[in-house]
Amino acid sequence: MEVVVTGAGVVVERGAETHLRGALGLDADGSVPLGHLPEVVRGRASRAERVTQLLLAAGGRALATAGFDAAAAAETRAGIVVGTAFGCFLTNAAYQRRVAAGGQPAASPRLFAATVSNAAAGELAIAYRLGGPAVTLTAGGASGLTALGEAMEAIRAGRADVVVAAGVDATGDALAEWLAATGGAYGAPPAEAGAAVVLERTGRRGPEVCRLAGHASAFEPIAAACADAGVAPAEIALVVSAAPPPLASLEARALAAVLGERRRRLLIPKRVFGETFGAAGILGVLAAGAEAGRGDPVLVLDVCPTGHVAALVASVPEAR
C-alpha cells in the first residue's frame, strides 16, 4: 500500500536551505528558527533543549503545510515516529557534567527529564496534542529512513490515520569529541538538521508532496525495499547515495548487484547538507522528490558505519 506525504518541514545549517525548496536555515546567531510556529508552540519550544527545538521547528512546519494547526482538537489517531542517531547525547553530557562536579545536589531535574531520546517526540505530542502512538527509535546514522519506514507501517497497519515521521540530530562539543574519539567514521562534516514529513493514507486530506511505496531496514535492504514497493529494480530512475567514505564502495557494489550495471542518476545530499545523522534519510527523500521526474521511482538510502542501513522507494505523483 502506498502512503502519501502531505506535508514537509526541514531545518538545516545556515546556507544549506537554498538546496531544498521550503527548507529553513538556522538563524544568523545559530539558534533554531521558531518564528513560523504558532505562539502556543513557540513558547514551549523556546524553553526546550536543542533536539526538541529542531523537531518542533521541522515537525511544526510539516504539520502546517499538511493543513494541521496546533489549536485543533486532540487527535488520538495521529502518531509520531522519530529517528535519531544520538538523541539526548548533548543533554546527557550537560546533565552528567553537573553530577560529576557537584554530586546529587547538583543534579538538575529539568535536564534529567530530558535525558531520554523520546523527550522531543513527547514535546511534539504535547504541543500539537497528538495522542496516537509516539515512537522514537535509533538505528545509528540510518535512523531517519528507518523511522520513516516504521511510520509507513503504522499507517499500513491502521494504528494511526496520520503520522509525523521525523529525523533529527543536534551537534555540539561533546558529540564532536565523541565523533573524534571514534575515528570520524561518519565521513561528511557533522551538521545539524531536523526533517519531518506528514504521512497519510492515499487520498485522505492534504496535498501530495510525494508517495512512499516501499521500504526496508537491514544490512541488505535494497531488493527488499523494491519488492515492498512492487517496483522492479530496473525501473529505478534516481538513487540517493548516503554511504560515508569507508562504505562507499560497499554501497556501490550493493547497488550494482540489485539494480544492474546501468548507471543511474546519483544524488548525494550529504555534499550540501553535511552529515546530519538522524535527519539524513528524510532529507534524502525530500531532495529526491525535488529532483525526480514525475512518476519515476527513486531509491533513497540511509547508511551508518555501525552497519545500520535503510532503503526506501518513493515517487512524485504524476499530477498534483
Interface residues with other proteins (CB under 8 A) are 74, 76, 79-80, 84-87, 89, 92-93, 95-97, 99-100, 103-104, 107-109, 112-119, 121-123, 125-126, 129-140, 146, 150, 153, 157, 159, 174, 178, 181-182, 216-220, 224, 306-308
Q: Which three cell numbers, joined as nine digits, stand for 91?
A: 543533554
Cβ 196 to other proteins, closest distance in Å? Answer: 16
Neighbours of 130 (CB within 10 A): 25
Amino acid at residue number 209: V
Cβ closer to other proteins: 17 or 123?
Answer: 123
130 DSSP 8-state letter: B
Using alpha carbons, select from 17, 9, 7 the residue that is nearest to residue 273: 17
Using alpha carbons, select from 168, 146, 196, 82 the residue that is nearest to residue 306: 146
SS3 255: helix
Neighbours of 107 (CB within 10 A): 13
Cβ closer to other proteins: 93 or 272?
Answer: 93
Cβ closer to other proteins: 11 or 85?
Answer: 85
Q: Show the CA angle centred on residue 88, arms to residues 40 and 194, nearest 5°.
A: 60
- Give dist(CA 145, CA 186) in Å, integer: 16
Cβ closer to other proteins: 5 or 127?
Answer: 127
Cβ 9 to other proteins, closest distance in Å? Answer: 19
Q: Which residues pair with 190 in a beta bridge?
A: 275
Cβ 215 to other proteins, closest distance in Å? Answer: 10
Q: How far is CA 24 from the centre of its chain?
A: 15
Cβ closer to other proteins: 26 or 276?
Answer: 276
Is residue 37 a contact partner of residue 153, using CB atoms and an 8 Å limit? no
Using alpha carbons, select from 178, 2, 204 the residue that is nearest to residue 90: 178
Cβ closer to other proteins: 117 or 315?
Answer: 117
Cβ 177 to other proteins, closest distance in Å? Answer: 9
Q: Which three cell numbers, joined as nine digits, stand for 164?
A: 509525523
Q: What values do phi and psi take at 262, rounded to 5?
A: -60, 130
Cβ 197 to other proteins, closest distance in Å? Answer: 18
- Give dist(CA 194, CA 49) in Å, integer: 13
Cβ 308 to other proteins, closest distance in Å? Answer: 6
Cβ 87 to other proteins, closest distance in Å? Answer: 6
Cβ closer to other proteins: 19 or 129?
Answer: 129
Q: Which three cell numbers, joined as nine digits, stand for 99?
A: 553530577
Cβ 30 to other proteins, closest distance in Å? Answer: 23
Cβ closer to other proteins: 17 or 169?
Answer: 169
